[in-house]
Amino acid sequence: MSTIVNARAYLVDLEVETVRTDAVQSFLKQETVFVEIDTDDGLTGTGYSYTIGTGGGAVLSMLRNHLVPRLVGQDAAHIEHLWMDLFASTRATTVGAITSLALAAVDTALWDIKCKSAGAALWEVAGGYRKDVPLYDTEGGWLHLTQDELVSGAVASRDAGWGGLKLKVGKPNHREDLERLLAVRAAVGDRMDIMVDANQSMTSAEAIRRARAFEEVDLFWLEEPLPADDVAGHVRLAQSTSIPIAVGESMYSIAQFRDYLERGAASIVQVDVARIGGITPWLKVAHLAEAFNVSVCPHFLMELHVSLVAAIPNGRYVEHIPQLRSITNTEMVIRDGRAHAPETPGLGIDWNRDAIDNRRVD
């Protein structure tokens, strides 16, 4: 038994590392919500989740007023029990982003303790399939970048040996999107995977029209073309195009993924460990996707997702968007175009405590 003797939550604001824009928004800052849990055997687990600019205070309030007080005296090893107990205690706000983000901060802290107690890295404890995974770049593909900037970024990613790159789409005229995509394809050649992301900006009819136009680019996937709750629209789109449809970053429950997979509305699952509620439900979604012979390519949080993608047999890609460098002592290891999962016990993120304390806003 590893009894929880103390737990605390706090909020840190992180500036964005580069200008990031898509079809519907700009990434203004990362509100990072931390949870730290101490046990009677001397272990401390650190977990976190995030928002891209708003709502962090609401997540922190949920943690401090409702979830964290329920942890003291509990066995940190009983992760499933604790997750379900916290979930049940917030029935009035589930399923939803605020509760899921709060649960994720607790759950990742508990997994940090679980791995440290076992003396093993997260990628091993969560499954241990392989040590390294393919990487694709998003930082060179933002919507505000010029066509020349897109091309130069894509060529740099190819020359670094990365397997893929992602470009944002959603220009007012679909021909401008297509011209940009074709320019990148011509620059990088046929062997590099090109993904595109519409950030839920399209109507069903427009998504079908643009997907047909984009087919000549030979895309690896079309991401979030429609609002995440429009399952029927994604079904129609998937049936109308040869481009695989990727969804998941804006889903907050296992059941949502089940609906998409059962109806053939998703070919790529992009489950986000923060938005699904932690590592515990993330793994359930990943195994569900495996049952449908669907790959997992999670959204954002590369420092954490590298270990989870390495843990499972259907993990396909990790998304490269660095955002924690200002509060960590080390960076994710990249060699030969592949991201390598940390080998240290725990989540494998080497937090810079002084930098974190300097950015606390609560």
Which are the catalytic amino acids?
168, 299
User: CB–CB of 241/211 below 8 Å?
Assistant: yes
